[in-house]
Structure 1
């Protein structure tokens, strides 16, 4: 027995089924970190999970659905902690401190570095992944703009939306810079951005 979720993939409705689906996504993440998207094959996942390859259709509507689920989970691991800390910050200085602490962690270690790089490359090459990334970005921009409306009610909507776009572009840009140069210090960029978006 399965239910469709909004992304078009199926998730099992029982605790055991959800646990199996989660296991398959974790295996997909391991394979992605080890060998890129081409390593996530139905056979490789099935062998590690000790299941029949056909079960991927049951849980994900096939391999492309698993790829989307893996990309979503990788994004949750890499970027979501930064976004959540940013949204929870009561003011700009607290937000900047959170970014100083969390942005370097986005790609800390070989595994996260590989996952982040694979996410960006796949979003550029695969229309479905690109659409998923676009929708995620729009949703996060909306959340940031909404938080700015609470913190800076005197700002016009255009400024809030522009600042939200700048913040998301900053996160994407810093992630790319850290992929290319893992030892890079992001502090100066974060401080400069805080000065740009701070209250006049």
Structure 2
């Protein structure tokens, strides 16, 4: 029985994500999720305790699955700015309106009304910002980021940029999110100062 516990719980989570993506927050009921997962209705309460707890767990599951690849791209890239660009492209390349993306948008709205969901989401955001800030600090010290950049503040802006671009893509599939991001990220890179030519400009041209 212990071997069935994990897949059953995951099946319920994936079913809840699918139901929420199709019908919204209130569409997630124990009956709808159990039917989608082909599981006993009682298992929803056994694993999650309540429908609200299931909804919050489904949001966390969707966010983790949706952002796993992009976050890995950022943390493993030698240049964190290249990683952010790759992460945004990965989100866009998955297509607009994936189940995970719709659930993330749904969570933004309901997080304002649900203190527990808001706390869970805030924790995920803070963890991502801290990881990104650490990578940006490494890049600044290595000369890959402008010397006057504030890694902690920049991490907040880049995290918000990714969330905002995702919402724009969901509303307008023609949004060039990747191109817009690359233009902004380019401004954060250090500029190469022209080489000091000394008094060469005063020298007469050679014959």
Q: TM-score range by the shorter chain?
A: 0.7 to 0.9
User: Within the alignment, does 1:75 sit opposite 2:63 as a pair?
Assistant: yes
The whole-number CA distance in structure 2 between the counterparts of 1:86 and 1:136 is: 15
From 38, 46, 49, the equivalent of 2:37 is 49
Q: Contact 1:106–1:112 at 8 Å: present in 2 too? A: no
The CA deviation at 1:50 is: 4.2
Larger Rg: 2
Unaligned runs of 5+ in 1: 1-12
Q: Contact 2:129–2:159 at 8 Å: present in 1 too? A: yes
Larger CA deviation: 135-144 vs 94-103:
94-103
The CA deviation at 1:158 is: 7.9
The whole-number CA distance in structure 1 between the counterparts of 2:172 and 2:70 is: 19
TM-score w.r.t. the length of structure 2 is 0.78
The CA deviation at 1:26 is: 1.0
From 90, 104, 112, the equivalent of 1:124 is 112
User: Number of residue pairs matched?
Assistant: 188
After superposition, the Cα gap between the structure-2 partners of 1:157 and 1:57, relative to the gap in structure 1 and judged at 3 Å, is farther
From 161, 175, 194, the equivalent of 2:166 is 175
Q: Contact 1:89–1:95 at 8 Å: present in 2 too? A: yes
The whole-number CA distance in structure 2 between the counterparts of 1:40 and 1:174 is: 27
Structure 1 stretches of 4+ moved >6 Å: 154-158
Structure 2 match to 1:108 = 96
The CA deviation at 1:106 is: 5.6
Provide Cα deviations, 1:88-108, integer angstroms capped at 9, x if missing partner: 111156325514531313653
Structure 1 match to 2:16 = 28
The whole-number CA distance in structure 2 between the counterparts of 1:106 and 1:169 is: 19
TM-score w.r.t. the length of structure 1 is 0.81
Provide Cα deviations, 1:46-91, integer angstroms capped at 9, x if missing partner: 2333444332222112212211111011112323321221121111
Q: CA RMSD in A?
A: 2.6
Larger CA deviation: 91-100 vs 132-141:
91-100
